[in-house]
Structure 1
C-alpha cells in the first residue's frame, strides 16, 4: 500500500512536470510546424488524421475494458487469472490491429468518393498515403494496448508518467527533423510511427522484465468472453459518439469547397487549444481509474464516492479554470503569436468548445465509477442520440456561419449531453450527491471570472499584442489567480496537497 501511495504521489508530480512541458513544447514546436507546412498542407494532415481516427472503433470498446478486467481478475482470483486475462486481450488486439490495417486501406481507396470536388488530385494522392501510414500507426497502438493497461492496473505511475514526459519531448523533435528534411506531412506520419514503435517496445520490455508479468495462454470460458463483450459494447457506443464529436466536424468541413483544407486547419487549431484542457485533465484522470474500480469492487457508499469526486473535481477545476479564463482573456493575442493572423477565427472555435467540455472533465471520477459498475448504457445511448443531432446541426450551421458554426453546434450538444442529462443520471441512477458536488466547486470560478473581466477591461488601454505586455499580463493574471484562490477559496486539504507536492 505504501508503495502504491508513493507511486501515486510521484506520478502526480511527474504529471505536473509533463503538463508544464506539454504547454511549453507546443509553444516552441507548433508555430515552426505551421510555418513549414502552410495552412493547406496542415489542413490536409489534420483531415487525414480525423478520417483515420475512425479506425479506433474497430476495437469495439475493448480498450476501456482491459484495466477493469485485469484489476477484477487479480482482486477476485489472483495473479494467474490476471495473466490469463492479459493473454486474452493480447490475442484480441492482434486481430484488431490486422483489421485496422485492412480498414485503413479501404478508407484510402474511398477518399476520392468524398473529397474529389473539394481537394485536388495531387492532394488526394498524398492524403491516401497519409491515411495508410496513420492506419499502420493505429495498428501498432492496438498491439501495445494490453501492455499499457497492465502497467496502469498495477499503478506503476512513475513509469507511466516518465514515458509520457519522454513522448512529450521526443515526438515533436522527430517531427521537426522530418519537416526540416523536407518531408512535410508524410514525414510527420512516419515520425509518429517511429516514436510509437519505440515507446510500445519500452512498455513491452517493462512488463516482461521489471514487472515479471508474462501472459498465460489458456482457454477462457464462453461466459467470460460474453461478459467482456457485453461490457465493452456500451463503451463501443460511447466511442462512436466520441468520433462523431471529435472527428466528424473536420471531415464535414473538408467536403465543402469554400472551406476545404483551409477550414479544417483553422478548426483544428481551435480544437487543439481546446484539447489542451483534456491533456491537463487526462494525466490525473487516468491515475484515478484503478482507485474508482477498487472503491466500486469493495462496496464504497455513495457518500464516499461523492466525497472522492468532490476532492478530485475541485483539484481539476482549480487547474482547468485558470486555463479557460486565462485563454478567454489572452487567447486572441496567443493565437496571433502561436499560429498567425490567418487563424484568428480559431479563438472563437476554442472558446465556444472549452466551456461545456469543462463540465465532464471535472466529473471524470464519476465517469470512472459508472464504467467500473458497468452502467455505461444510458450514457452511451444519450451521447449517441445527441451526437447524431450534432452532426446534422453541424452540417447546416457550417454552411450558414462557416467553421464557427461547426464549433457552436458541438458546443450546444456538449451542454445538453455531458452537461444537463448526465448530471441528472448521476443523481437519479447512481445516487451521487450532485447538488453538493457543484456547490463545492462553484466558488472556484468566482476569482477567475472577476480577473477575466478586469484584464479584458485593461486590454482596452494596454495593447497585449506587444509581447512584453502579453507576457506581463499573463504573469500578473496567474499570480493573482493563485494568490486569491489560496487565500479565499482553497481548502486545508488542497493546501496541504500542494505543500506536499512541492516538498516532495
Structure 2
C-alpha cells in the first residue's frame, strides 16, 4: 500500500514537472516555431490536425473502459480474466489501427472535398503529406493505449509520467533543427510521429519485462464485449463532443474565415490545451482508486471527500494560471506569439474561464464511469455540442475566431457547469453543497493577489520579456503566500511543506 501511495505522489510530482517543462518549452519554442512556419502554414497545420483528430473517434471509447473491468477482475483475483481482457483489448485496438489507416487513405484521396476552396495548390500538397504522417501517428496510439492503460491499472505512475516528461523535453529539440533547415510543418509532424513510435516501444518493453502482462486469446467472452460496448458507447459520445468543442471550431474557421483565422484561434487553443492537461495531472493518478472504491464499497461519502480533495488542489493550481493570465495575458500573447495574434488573448479567456469549473471536477467523470452512470451526461453534452455548431457559424462570420470561442463558451456554461453540478448532486450521489463550500474557502486567499493583479494591469504598462517575467514572479509569490496562509487546510500545507522539510533535513 505504501508503494502505491509513493507511486501516486511520484506520479503527481512528475505530472506537474512534465507540465512545467511543457510550459517552459512552449514559452521558448512556440514563438520561434510560429515565426519559422509563418501564420499561414501554422494555420494549415492546425487545420489538418483538427481534421485528422476526428479519426481518434474510432477508439469508440474502449480505452476508458479498461480500468473498470480490470478492477473487477482484480477484486475477484481472476488473473486469467485479466489476461483475456488484455487479449480482447489488443485485438480490438489493432483492428481499429488498421481501420484508421484505411479511412485516412480515403480522406487523403478526397482532400479537396474536405477543405473546399479555402487552400492554395501548394497548401493542398503540404496538407496531403501532413495528413499521411498524422494518420500513421494516430494509428500507433491505438495499440499503445492498451499498454498505457495496463501501466495505469498497475499504478506505476513514475515510469508513465517520466516518459511524458521526456517526450515534452525532446520534442522541440528534435523539431527546431528541421524547422531551421526549412522542413516546416512536415518536419514538425515527422518528429511527433517518431516520438510516438518510441513511446509505443517503451510502453511495450516495460509491460512485458516489468509488469509481466499476459495476453490470452482463447475463450474470449463475447458477452463481455457486449457489456463493454454498452458501457463505452456513451464514452464514445463524449469523445464526439470533445471533438466538436475543441476541433470543429478550427474546421469551421478554415471553411468560413481562412487559415489566418485558424492560426489566431490555434494560439488560444494551444494555451487552452496546456490548461486542460495541467488539470488532469492530479486526478489521473486517482482513477484506479476511484474504480477500486466503487468496486468494493461504492461509498458516496468517501468518493465525495476524494472528489473535493482533488478539486481543491486543482483549483489552487488552475486559479494561479487563470488569474495570472487575466492580468498579464495581453502582453504575454503579444510577446510570445506576436502582435498579429493579439485577438488570441480574448479567445483564450473565452475558452479557459468556463472550462475551469469542469476541470476542478474532472475526477467526477471517472466516478460516473466507475458507477456506470455516464450515459445522461453524454446525451446532454451531445445536444449542447450540436447547438454549439449552429451558434458558432453565424458568430464566426461576424467576429471570426472570437465568435468560435464564444460559441464554445456558451455550450460549456450550459452543459459542463449548470447541468453537471445538478447531475452530480441529484443522481451521482456527490454532496455538491459540501464541495462548493470547500472551494468557497479560497475566496479570502484570492482577494490580495487579484487586487495586485488589477493594479499591475491598470498602471504598470507591462511590455518586454524582462517585465513580463518579473511581474509574473511577483504575482506568483503573492498568490502562493496568500493561498498558503488564507486558503490551504492543514493537509494541503503538509503536502507543500513535506518535500521542503525533507530537503532541509538532508
If the length of structure 1 is used for normalisation, what is the TM-score?
A: 0.97
SS in 2 for 1:215: coil
| Alignment partners' CA distance in 2, 1:123 and 1:448 | 47
| Alignment partners' CA distance in 1, 2:442 and 2:266 | 29
2:442 and 2:486 in contact (8 A); partners too: no
Q: Quote the RMSD (CA, aligned, Å).
A: 1.4
Partner of 2:205: 205
Partner of 1:344: 342
Q: Which moved more, 1:402-411 or 1:15-24?
A: 15-24
| Alignment partners' CA distance in 1, 2:447 and 2:407 | 24
| Alignment partners' CA distance in 2, 1:499 and 1:458 | 29
CA distances 1:425-470 after superposition (whole Å, capped 9, x unpaired): 1111112111110111023255345533432333333221133332
C-alpha distance 445-338 of structure 1, shift in aligned 2 (>3 A): farther
| Alignment partners' CA distance in 1, 2:206 and 2:115 | 43
| Alignment partners' CA distance in 2, 1:166 and 1:458 | 36
Match of 1:424 among 422, 425, 442: 422
| Alignment partners' CA distance in 1, 2:376 and 2:164 | 33
C-alpha distance 81-100 of structure 1, shift in aligned 2 (>3 A): same
1:83 and 1:216 in contact (8 A); partners too: yes
- Segments of structure 2 that go 5 or more residues without pairing to the other structure are none
TM superposition shift of 1:181: 2.5
C-alpha distance 502-65 of structure 1, shift in aligned 2 (>3 A): farther
Partner of 1:284: 282
2:48 and 2:131 in contact (8 A); partners too: yes
Partner of 1:190: 190
CA distances 1:30-86 after superposition (whole Å, capped 9, x unpaired): 111111000000000010000000001111111111222222222224222111101
TM superposition shift of 1:503: 4.5
C-alpha distance 459-59 of structure 1, shift in aligned 2 (>3 A): closer
SS in 2 for 1:366: helix
CA distances 1:218-263 after superposition (whole Å, capped 9, x unpaired): 222221111011111111111111111111000000012xx21111
If the length of structure 2 is used for normalisation, what is the TM-score?
A: 0.97
| Alignment partners' CA distance in 2, 1:319 and 1:454 | 18
Matched, 1:359 2:389: no
Which 4+ runs in 1 deviate beyond 6 A? Answer: none
Partner of 1:3: 3
| Alignment partners' CA distance in 1, 2:143 and 2:447 | 45
C-alpha distance 92-73 of structure 1, shift in aligned 2 (>3 A): same
1:66 and 1:149 in contact (8 A); partners too: yes
- The total of aligned residue pairs comes to 502
2:351 and 2:409 in contact (8 A); partners too: yes
Partner of 2:402: 404
| Alignment partners' CA distance in 2, 1:459 and 1:321 | 17
Alignment map for 1:57-456 (pairs within 5 Å): 57-256=57-256, 259-448=257-446, 450-456=448-454
| Alignment partners' CA distance in 1, 2:36 and 2:443 | 39
CA distances 1:395-434 after superposition (whole Å, capped 9, x unpaired): 1111111110000110011011010001111111112111
| Alignment partners' CA distance in 2, 1:454 and 1:165 | 33
Partner of 1:56: 56
| Alignment partners' CA distance in 2, 1:79 and 1:500 | 38
Partner of 1:481: 479
2:47 and 2:251 in contact (8 A); partners too: yes
Q: Which moved more, 1:219-228 or 1:419-428?
A: 219-228
Q: Which moved more, 1:384-393 or 1:110-119?
A: 110-119
| Alignment partners' CA distance in 2, 1:336 and 1:252 | 25
